[in-house]
Amino acid sequence: MTADRLSFAAEAGMTLPEDGRILLLGAPGELDASALPLTRCTVVQRFAPDHAAWARRGVAVALAPEGEFAAAVVYPARARELTEQRIAEACAAVPSGMIVVDGPKTDGIEPLLKAIKARSPIAGQVSKAHGKCFWFNSSDAFADWAHGPVQNGNGMWTAPGVFSAEAPDPGSELLLSVLPAKLGAQVADLGAGWGGLAAGILSRDSVTTLHLVEADHSALDCARRNVSDPRAQFHWADALDWKAPARLDAVVMNPPFHIGRKPDPALGRAFITAARRILKPSGSLWLVANRHLPYEPQLEADFRHSEEIAGDARFKILHGYRPKA
């Protein structure tokens, strides 16, 4: 629906420059961009599936802004600090021009508008399709919103918007506490995040290679800083279609179950199927899930044997072994 909002905003007086490059920060891969001059646009997208989607559409795509732009369109993230970081990046890349912010109410567009209005005059705004589009002139008033990686209370590097940025996830900690001493030689962590599981996995001497597979480039950068073990290999990729260099002995994971703000257990089920695909016939999957998530039927469909091996009121630890062909 963003094309409707941008078109509506244009009717209300928001005019993108006719010349010069336009920066799109955080634009989702399936965005309806019919209201944008895509031949002049560069998308900054650090999420691997969306990055690949823009590349397939033939649009210039990058991990960070390079050079100056005539204007920018910012798409809010679920995490407030990540949205602020995008605003700061946009203002730094557009030294004199317009910053447009377009997003649904579910991504906090209204409190964001209020916070920006407290720092800089708003040139215009429209409401449409359960969201808002507003615009303002680039300003250095948002320089302090340039949030970078920080160390959490455990000394681990995290970044705005990554999962469990403040502290180790208790579900992952529970999973590590019950993993067997011998996992096998070739192991993968699908959805590795900032590396919270990796250190515990690498404490097992049987592991000769650990593949950390993560779609969020910012999270993977943190994992590289947190995990210095030479057995670790880092892959910026969508875990659902990542191809292991050889069949694996084990997969350990804390799979995501949100798409945007919406819970979607189908995503976790897809992670289970992805694990089955890359395991040896004798391989094992170890995963932690919130107690209410219905993953057991998928485990039964993908593995010859599956069971819950531990848990508490919040989490359950599931084990699947001998993947089906």
| 181 and 80 within one domain | no
pLDDT at 325 over 60: yes
pLDDT at 134: 96
Q: Please, which contacts does 138-141 make with residues 24 or more away whose CB atoms are closer than 8 Å?
A: 138/72, 138/90, 138/91, 138/94, 138/95, 138/96, 138/97, 138/98, 138/99, 139/91, 140/91
pLDDT at 258: 56
| 133 and 240 within one domain | no
DSSP code per residue over 109-154: HHHHHHHHHTTS---EEEEETTEEEEEEE--GGGGGG----EE-TT
* Per-residue pLDDT reduced to its tens digit, 164-205: 888 888 999 999 999 999 999 999 999 999 999 999 999 999
Per the model's pLDDT, the better-predicted residue between 55 and 11 turns out to be: 55
* Per-residue pLDDT reduced to its tens digit, 145-166: 999 999 987 889 999 999 888 8
* Per-residue pLDDT reduced to its tens digit, 229-246: 999 999 999 999 999 999
| 166 and 304 within one domain | yes
| 315 and 180 within one domain | yes
| 37 and 163 within one domain | no
| 225 and 253 within one domain | yes
Q: Which residues contact 119 (CB under 8 A, 6 or more apart)?
A: 139, 141, 142
| 85 and 62 within one domain | yes
Give 287's strand partners.
Answer: 253, 318
| Host H or E run for residue 9 | helix 2-11
Identify the three-state secondary structure at position 282: strand
Place of tokens 């992805």: 274
pLDDT at 1: 45
State how far the alpha carbon of 8 is from the alpha carbons of 4, 32, 117, 127, 145, in Å.
Answer: 6, 14, 21, 9, 29
Residue range 127-153: average pLDDT?
93
| 193 and 121 within one domain | no
| 163 and 131 within one domain | no
Look at the alpha carbons of 240, 245, 248, 250 in this order and tell me if their dihedral is positive or negative. negative
How many domains does one find in the chain?
2
Last residue of one domain, picked from the residues 145, 176, 211: 145
pLDDT at 27 over 60: yes
User: Is the distance from CB of 220 to CB of 212 less than 8 angstroms?
Assistant: yes
Banded model confidence at residue 299, pLDDT cuts 50, 70, 90:
very high
pTM of structure: 0.94
Q: First-to-last CA distance in the chain?
A: 41
| 178 and 104 within one domain | no
* Per-residue pLDDT reduced to its tens digit, 62-115: 999 999 999 999 999 999 999 999 999 999 999 999 999 999 998 899 999 999
For residue 251, the domain's CATH number is 3.40.50.150
| 275 and 215 within one domain | yes
Rounded CA-CA distance 197/215 in Å is 16
pLDDT averaged over every residue in the chain: 94
pLDDT at 168: 82
pLDDT at 257: 78
pLDDT at 296 over 60: yes
* Residue 301: domain span: 150-323
| 192 and 291 within one domain | yes
User: Is the distance from CB of 102 to CB of 112 less than 8 angstroms?
Assistant: no
Identify the three-state secondary structure at position 305: strand
**Residue 3 has which token pair?**
């094309």
pLDDT at 309: 97
User: Is the distance from CB of 162 to CB of 156 less than 8 angstroms?
Assistant: no
Last residue of one domain, picked from the residues 123, 145, 167: 145
Banded model confidence at residue 263, pLDDT cuts 50, 70, 90:
low
Going by their DSSP bridges, the two strands 150-151 and 157-158 should be labelled as antiparallel
Last residue of one domain, picked from the residues 125, 145, 165: 145
